[in-house]
């Protein structure tokens, strides 16, 4: 057990630091501190020794040099179990420092500001802080190092139980957090600076992605296995998750989430987030096999409509909703076997119904009134990885262009909007049929677009006459349109952009169909 007698405290985030320091002093701990932290502690009546007085060396260069001193780092790195270390420390008047409480200059927060200047970013690169943290964490057997205010209370509780001491196990846990934090900090700096070909680069000259890309995730859980039983796997969360989704969902009940459950829940929730109207999505193997939206029906009825698209595929699927699940909907949900339900919340009455299926996984991911979709997606390939922006952009509806003689009716246009949102989340080549704001048929992941059309028609459980069709990319030939016409499709939405667009337009005109070009595609590989 490491007894705390001397602590060095220097924090940018001063949350809770005054009370924590007061409790340390109650244990008889001497506090060393610097700058604004020392001033805050003194203003609150606490006795503090300035680091410059302790080292006998003044802070200099606008505070850039204050803790980079042998009396600091010798006190942190000196091993108490090695006589030659303790003798050398005594010879040079270096006292052990048993605790370091440091959090770093807010670099990431600074560069996230739209008006951040390059010089401001550089000034917010912390040097002394990471150096102290790393020194203390390396010598974790003897030094307690804290970077997170959330650890203050547990440390005080442990000191109370241990007569002012902290266990080696706790120190090791804290040391790991340090290296995770400094790795994340250095990654933020590297990623930022890597976007600048030179310090004075104009914004238009900067790289969107850095020369070296570093990403960090925090392990949320080990998984039983990956896609298959012989593959080991784990789920990692990003350090800060602001957008509602699988990364910050809470599991309320059910079996542990599997690798495939997490992928499917993410796919389901990302699709249902496309809609502001009450909506339900059914996902199987990351592809929608049911979706519906309505403003004049109960959530239970919307789910019935979604499930009716392909009830065979819905068996064992994932259901996502963008409204709180009520008891009526819960009763319908347990009628057939599903793996998981993800929704903003569940009423108490709904939970009492759903707990009848104890293995059913329930995830709550509250949808905020306002939030920004942002971020990158990463795909691993052998020997490297791909990084891209998420597919969050779409051409405004007022930029859509009707290219056929016939304009879509108001009803067709509304359903085309619905189908276009769903199609974006279907694996390419993607075709969806829709009617009355519900999915009718889906053709996913085929090597030819005409086969996707045929499959979407074949999968339909209701008559396709009068339906609309959405295609994630252009039709390279008119054959897909001819197949859709045979099934009674009345309107099509697609990006356009093929050398044979004229053939596609002519085919629609021949069949009396309306067709809209959106101007952008939504490939999903």
Domain extents in the chain: 2-193, 250-364, 397-517
Structure tokens at 37: 């932290």
Q: Which residue has the tokens 């238009």?
A: 204
Can you tell me the distance from the alpha carbon of 313 to that of 264, in angstroms, rounded to the nearest whole number? 13
Structure tokens at 154: 């547990």
Contact 273, 283 (CB under 8 A): no
* DSSP code string of 471-500: ESS--SSSHHHHHHHHTT--EEEE----TT
Pairing of strands 250-253, 361-364: antiparallel
Can you tell me the distance from the alpha carbon of 264 to that of 318, in angstroms, rounded to the nearest whole number? 7
| Assigned superfamily of 397-517 | AICAR transformylase, duplication domain (3.40.140.20)
pLDDT at 57: 67
> What's the pTM value of the predicted model, to 2 decimals?
0.88
Residues 6+ apart with CB under 8 A from 505: 403, 404, 515
DSSP 197: S
Verify whether residue 138 is a known catalytic residue: yes
- The fold of the 250-364 domain, in CATH, is Cytidine Deaminase; domain 2 (3.40.140)
φ, ψ at 55 (rounded to 5°): -85, -20
pLDDT at 60: 60
Alpha-carbon Rg for the chain in angstroms: 30
What is the total residue count of the chain?
525
DSSP 368: P
Contact 189, 125 (CB under 8 A): yes
Q: Is the dihedral of CA 400, 405, 410, 414 positive or negative?
A: negative
User: What's the N-to-C CA distance of the chain in angstroms?
Assistant: 54
Contact 494, 517 (CB under 8 A): yes
- Please tell me whether residue 220 adopts helix, strand or coil conformation: strand
Structure tokens at 503: 């053939």
- How many other β-carbons are positioned within 10 Å of the β-carbon of residue 181? 20
Cis peptide before 429 (omega within 30 of 0): yes
Angle of helix 152-161 versus helix 168-193 axis, rounded to 10: 160
List 250's β-bridge partners, or say none.
364
E strands in 247-382: 250-253, 279-284, 287-293, 318-321, 340-343, 361-364, 376-381
Contact 224, 258 (CB under 8 A): yes
DSSP 151: G
Structure tokens at 297: 């029906």
List 2's β-bridge partners, or say none.
166
Q: Which helix (H) or strand (E) holds 272?
A: helix 259-272
330-344: string of b/e by CB count within 10 Å (b at 16+)?
bebbeeeebbbbbbb
Q: Which of 138, 177, 331, 373 is catalytic?
A: 138
Cis peptide before 72 (omega within 30 of 0): no
Pairing of strands 438-443, 431-435: antiparallel
Can you tell me the distance from the alpha carbon of 353 to that of 214, in angstroms, rounded to the nearest whole number? 45
- Please tell me whether residue 399 adopts helix, strand or coil conformation: helix
Structure tokens at 483: 């197949």
Burial of 43 (0-12, 13-18, 19+ CB in 10 A): exposed
Nearest to 136 by CA among 83, 184, 78: 78
Q: Which helix (H) or strand (E) holds 498?
A: none
Q: Which helix (H) or strand (E) holds 273?
A: none
- How many other β-carbons are positioned within 10 Å of the β-carbon of residue 384? 7
Residues in the chain with pLDDT values less than 70: 57-58, 60-66
Judge whether 250-364 and 397-517 match in fold. yes
Q: What is the CATH number of domain 2-193?
A: 3.40.50.1380
Can you tell me the distance from the alpha carbon of 406 to that of 237, in angstroms, rounded to the nearest whole number? 49
Contact 318, 265 (CB under 8 A): yes
Nearest to 267 by CA among 134, 177, 391: 391
pLDDT at 6: 92
DSSP 375: -
Q: Which residue has the tokens 């600091």?
A: 72
Q: Which of 14, 85, 177, 285 is catalytic?
A: 285
């Amino acid at each position: 057990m490491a007894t705390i007698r001397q602590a060095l405290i220097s924090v940018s985030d001063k949350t809770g630091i005054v009370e924590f320091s007061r409790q340390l002093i109650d244990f008889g701990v001497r506090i060393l501190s610097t700058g604004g932290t020392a001033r805050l502690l003194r203003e609150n009546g606490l006795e503090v020794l300035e680091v410059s007085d302790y080292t006998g060396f003044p802070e200099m260069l606008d505070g850039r040099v204050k803790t980079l001193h042998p009396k600091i780092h010798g006190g942190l790195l000196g091993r108490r179990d090695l006589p030659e270390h303790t003798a050398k420390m005594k010879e040079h008047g270096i006292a052990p420092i048993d605790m370091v409480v440091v959090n770093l200059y807010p670099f990431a927060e600074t560069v996230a500001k739209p008006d951040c200047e390059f010089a401001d970013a550089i000034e917010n690169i912390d040097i002394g802080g990471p150096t102290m943290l790393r020194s203390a964490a390396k010598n974790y057997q003897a030094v307690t190092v804290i970077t997170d205010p959330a650890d203050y209370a547990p440390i005080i509780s442990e000191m109370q139980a241990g007569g002012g001491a902290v266990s080696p196990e706790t120190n090791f846990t804290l040391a790991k957090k340090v290296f995770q934090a400094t790795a994340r900090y250095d990654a933020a700096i590297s990623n930022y600076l890597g976007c600048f070909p030179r310090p004075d680069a104009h914004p238009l000259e900067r790289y969107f992605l850095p020369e070296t890309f570093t990403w960090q995730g925090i392990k949320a859980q080990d998984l039983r296995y990956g896609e298959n039983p012989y593959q080991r796997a784990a789920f990692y969360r990003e350090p800060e998750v602001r957008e509602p989704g699988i990364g910050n969902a809470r599991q309320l009940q059910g079996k542990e989430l599997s690798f495939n459950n997490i992928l499917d829940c993410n796919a389901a929730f990302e699709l249902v987030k496309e809609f502001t109207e009450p909506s339900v999505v059914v996902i199987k193997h990351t592809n929608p096999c049911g979706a519906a939206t309505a403003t004049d029906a109960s959530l239970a009825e919307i789910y019935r409509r979604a499930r009716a698209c392909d009830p065979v595929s819905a068996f064992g699927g994932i259901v996502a909703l963008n409204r709180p699940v009520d008891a009526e909907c819960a009763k319908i949900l347990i009628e057939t076997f599903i793996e998981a339900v993800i929704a903003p919340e569940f009423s108490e009455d709904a939970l009492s119904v759903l707990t009848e299926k104890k293995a059913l996984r329930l995830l709550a991911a509250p949808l905020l009134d306002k939030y920004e979709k942002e971020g990158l997606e990463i795909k691993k390939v052998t020997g490297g990885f791909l990084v891209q922006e998420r597919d969050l952009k779409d051409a405004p509806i007022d930029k859509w262009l009707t290219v056929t003689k016939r304009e879509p009716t108001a009803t067709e246009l509304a359903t085309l909007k619905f189908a276009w949102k769903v199609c974006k989340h279907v694996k390419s080549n993607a075709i969806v049929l829709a009617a009355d704001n519900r999915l009718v048929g889906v053709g996913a992941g085929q090597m030819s677009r005409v086969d996707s059309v045929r499959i979407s028609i074949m999968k339909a459980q209701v008559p396709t006459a009068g339906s609309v069709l959405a295609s994630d990319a252009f039709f390279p030939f008119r054959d897909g349109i001819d197949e859709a016409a045979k099934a009674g499709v009345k309107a099509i939405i697609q990006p356009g952009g093929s050398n044979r667009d004229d053939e596609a337009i002519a085919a629609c005109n021949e069949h009396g169909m309306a067709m809209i070009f959106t101007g952008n595609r939504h490939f999903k590989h």
